[in-house]
Copies of this chain bind each other. A is one copy, B any other.
Amino acid sequence: MPWELKSDRPIYTQLIEHIQLSIFSGVYPLGSKLPSGRDMAQEASVNPNTMQKALVKLEEDGLIITHRTSGRSITEDARMLEMAKTKLAQDQISEFLGKMQLMGFDQKEILTIINNMVKEMKK
C-alpha cells in the first residue's frame, strides 16, 4: 500500500493513521518486528524524525513496543491491541461528544442525528 501523503494535514498524523491501519488489518502481525525507523522513513519518503514522532505516539497508544537498540515490534497481546483500538475510538468519541455538548446538543438529539446520518450512509 502506498503512503499517499497529502499536505493539507500534518504528515505525522497521516503516518500514524497509515500504520494503525496496517496493524489493524494484519499487514504487521501480532508480535512481528517492524522495519527500523530510518527504513520506514525512507519508504515513506519522510524525514526520520517525522516518522519517529508517529512511532512514539503509537507506542503511547500501546500498539507497538520499542526495544532501545533492536528496533520496534507490534504488541503480542491480542487483547491489548483490541483495547488500544477501543481506546482510540473512545478518545475520538469523547472529544466529539464534548464539542456537541458545547454547542448545546443533549444526548437524545445527538443520537437522533447520528442515526439519521448512518441511515443516509447506508443508502
Contacts and interface: CB of A to CB of B under 8 A. Distances in A.
B104 A90 contact: no
Contacts of A90: 113, 117
Given A96-B96, A102-B17, A118 B111 contact: yes
A86 B17 CA distance: 29
A8 B69 CA distance: 37
Contact of A103 (B92, B94, B111): B92
Majority SS at the chain A contact face: helix
Contacts of A80: none
A110 B118 CA distance: 10
A1 interface: no
Interface stretch (A20-28, A30-38, A48-56): A20-28
A109 B90 CA distance: 12
Interface string A94-117: 101101101111010111011001
B103 A117 contact: no
Contact of A104 (B20, B93, B94, B118): B20
8 contacts: A85-B105, A86-B113, A89-B103, A90-B113, A93-B113, A93-B117, A96-B96, A111-B114
